[in-house]
Structures are given as C-alpha cells and as structure tokens.
C-alpha cells in the first residue's frame, strides 16, 4: 500500500511522541500495563461504535487480554503473527501504534490498512503482523505458508497463529496442523478457547472439546493453559516458542479464556447466563495480575492511577489523530483491486 504514514503520528499537535512500547516486555508490571491499554482501547471502540463513528462489525477482546499480552511477550521482531477477526489486542501488543489502529477503525486513509479493512483487517508488514482475517480459520493456512517461506529463506523465526475454538471445527484447522506437523514447520498455534463459537458452546460443537488433545493427535506438543493468567501464558508461550524456534516442529497451546462482552455488537447474548459471565469476571486477568503485583509490592494505588492516566492520554491522542484523518477518496475505491505494478 502507498500513502500510509510511517510510525510517527501524521503531524498532529499533542500527539504521542512514539507508538506504544514494542511487544516483548516480560516483566509482570509491563504485562499488566499492556493489558490495561488493550482494555481501555476496546472500551473506547465500543463507545465510538455506539456513537456511529465506527461502522461495520466490531468484535471486542475484553476479558481475553492475558492471551495476547502473554503470548506476544514470547516473540521477537523476527517472528511473524497471524491473528483473528478479534485482533485489536494482538495488534497493540505487537507494538502497532494506537492511533494507526484507531484511524483504521474510523475508516481513515491514515489507518494501518488505509481505512479499507476496518476492525477485522489490521495489517502491518513492518512488524510482521499479517492480519486480521474476517473468515474463521482462514489465518491457519496463511500461517503455515508464512512459516514455510521463513524456513525456505533460512530465517530462524516462529509464526504465531492465533485462532478461536470455533476454528477447530473447520477443515482448514486440521489441514494446517497436519501439514505443519508433517513438514515440521515452525508454527506456534495459539487457540483462544473462550468456550463459544459465536453463540455455540464448545461441547455442542466438538466431540472432543479439549483442543490440546486434538492437536496431540497430529504428533505435536500441546498443552492447556490458564488463559486468564498473563504470566502463565507468557511462561507457556516462551517455552513453546523456544522449542519451535530450535527446530522441534510446531506446537499448540490451548489458552482457556473468556470474553466478557458479546460475540459482536449485534449479539443479543442469549446463549449464556449472567451468572456464568459473573463467575468468569471474578477471574478478570487485570485483577489477577494486579493482585499479584500488589502482593509483591510492585503496584500500589498511586502507580495504578498513573498508569490509567497515561493510557487515557494515549487513547485520547489516538482518537484525536484519527478524527483529523482523511477519508479515503471515492475515486480511489478501485485502487489495489489489482497490484498497481502489474497494470
């Protein structure tokens, strides 16, 4: 794509001097701050959607922050990431600037996908972030292809592939795991098992609801992990990524998590009870990690308030920059349908 600004904000006064800190931070406080940024970004998106400023679909990640923050801490800049249609957190934790994502949400040309992709198609090749994909399970074969390309080019890189439990019922899931195992490709499969494929509970969709057991059938190491505990995720992802990077072939982590909000903004959410949601909210990943840090003396009320203030400033700046952006011109709508250099 052309015309997209570099990482710095597009000249907006009062803009943050730099994008969010890069992914890779492993200390507990950094992980908590990363989850806080994701949570507040998501909440702001919900408000903008309700105000009619974000169009199309919007799938929020609230409740699942420990997965993206913990897993991304195990990756380096040489690694690749393929995400889902609920990928705002993956993009933020990969270090993509909040203003770039917000501009994409608002359909501005300054967005990371020039405002053409919206919520489900965030993309940043400079960070080896290969999307966001609106099709369930479609990212899995893409991840296998990226991993194959890396190996053929002699790169010592891991491709991290995020997907939901709903993807496990798709043929692409089985084909991708089979090929990755057969060819011992460097893919780390990360199943965000939030128990619901849209409105279908996992035990109504899978005869074997334990995804790690299914993956083990393909001969790869597979483990179920508490996806509400960011440090547990970071530890498991770190160990698995190291094995994959050292040439042991693919691995899978089943990260048991829960989305606190509905599947999308159009979901009436009649398939689960309020009591069930309340039970999971007691294991809010921000609270779990915050309590751990407070017990260790690494976080107190003042530090928490300061972190909230900084996050609020970053998101306010992102909204301001995005709001001052440029809507994609109607006359350009047919650009990029075909590669311009081929014309």
The set of residues, in sequence order, having a beta carbon less than 8 Å from that of 39 and lying 6+ positions away, is: 62, 65, 286
Element (H, E) at 291: helix 285-295
For residue 73, the SS3 value is coil
What are φ and ψ of residue 259, in 5° steps? Answer: -95, 130
Instruction: Specify the pLDDT at position 343.
Output: 52
Q: What is the pLDDT of residues 95-133, one digit of tens each?
A: 999 999 999 999 999 999 999 999 999 999 999 999 999
**What is the distance of C-alpha 127 from the center of its chain?**
13
- Residue listed under structure tokens 């909040």: 98
Flag whether pLDDT at 72 surpasses 80.
Answer: yes
Count of CB atoms situated within 10 Å of the CB of 320: 16
Element (H, E) at 201: strand 200-201
What rounded mean pLDDT belongs to the chain? 91
- Please report which confidence band the pLDDT of residue 272 belongs to, taking 50, 70 and 90 as the band edges: very high
Q: Which residues pair with 192 in a beta bridge?
A: 164, 255
Instruction: Look at residues 25, 19, 33 and name the one whose alpha carbon lies nearest to residue 289.
Output: 33
Instruction: Specify the pLDDT at position 15.
Output: 32
Most confidently modeled range among 11-20, 27-36, 265-274, 333-342: 27-36
Question: Residue 108 has which token pair?
Answer: 């501005």
In this prediction, residues 246-257 reach a mean pLDDT of 97
Q: What is the pLDDT of residues 29-45, one digit of tens each?
A: 999 999 999 999 999 99
| Pairing assessment for the beta strands 200-201 and 196-197 based on DSSP bridges | antiparallel
- Please report which confidence band the pLDDT of residue 3 belongs to, taking 50, 70 and 90 as the band edges: very low
Flag whether pLDDT at 136 surpasses 60.
Answer: yes
- Please report which confidence band the pLDDT of residue 24 belongs to, taking 50, 70 and 90 as the band edges: very low
Instruction: Specify the pLDDT at position 338.
Output: 87
Q: Which residues pair with 255 in a beta bridge?
A: 192, 225
Q: What is the pTM of this model?
A: 0.91
Instruction: Specify the pLDDT at position 342.
Output: 58
For residue 97, the SS3 value is coil
How far apart are the two ends of the chain, measured CA to CA in Å? Answer: 15
Alpha-carbon distance 121 to 310, whole Å?
A: 27
Ranges 229-233, 286-290, 335-339: which has the least confidence: 335-339
Instruction: Specify the pLDDT at position 186.
Output: 98
């Amino acid at each position: 794509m052309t015309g997209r600004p570099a990482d710095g904000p597009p000249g907006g006064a009062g803009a943050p001097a730099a994008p969010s800190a890069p992914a890779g931070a492993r200390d507990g406080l950094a992980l908590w701050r990363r989850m806080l940024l994701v949570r507040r970004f998501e909440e702001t998106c919900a408000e903008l959607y309700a105000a009619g400023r974000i169009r199309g679909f919007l799938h929020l990640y609230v409740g699942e922050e420990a997965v993206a923050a913990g897993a991304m801490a195990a990756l380096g800049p040489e690694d690749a990431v393929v995400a889902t249609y609920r990928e705002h957190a993956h993009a933020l934790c990969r270090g993509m600037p909040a203003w770039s994502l917000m501009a994409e949400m608002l359909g501005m040309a300054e967005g990371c996908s020039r405002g053409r992709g919206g919520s489900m198609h965030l993309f940043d090749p400079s960070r080896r972030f290969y999307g966001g994909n609106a099709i369930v399970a479609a990212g899995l074969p893409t991840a296998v292809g990226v991993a194959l390309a890396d190996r053929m080019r002699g790169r010592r890189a891991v491709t991290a592939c995020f997907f939901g439990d709903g993807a496990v019922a798709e043929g692409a899931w089985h084909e991708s795991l089979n090929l990755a195992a057969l060819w011992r490709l460097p893919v780390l499969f990360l199943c965000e098992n939030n128990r619901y494929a849209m409105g279908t509970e996992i035990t109504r969709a899978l005869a074997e609801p334990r995804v790690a057991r299914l993956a083990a059938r393909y001969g790869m190491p597979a483990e179920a992990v508490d996806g509400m505990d960011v440090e547990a995720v970071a530890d498991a992802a770190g160990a698995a990524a190291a094995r994959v990077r050292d040439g042991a072939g693919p691995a899978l982590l089943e990260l048991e998590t829960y989305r606190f909000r509905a599947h999308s903004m159009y979901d009436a959410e009649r398939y689960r009870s309020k009591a069930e949601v309340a039970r999971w909210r007691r294991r809010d990943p921000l609270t779990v990690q915050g309590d751990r840090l407070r017990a260790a003396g690494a976080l107190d009320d003042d530090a928490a308030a300061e972190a909230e203030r900084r996050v609020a400033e970053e998101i306010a700046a992102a909204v301001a920059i995005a709001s001052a952006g440029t809507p994609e011109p109607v006359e350009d709508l047919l650009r990029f349908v075909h590669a311009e250099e081929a014309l």
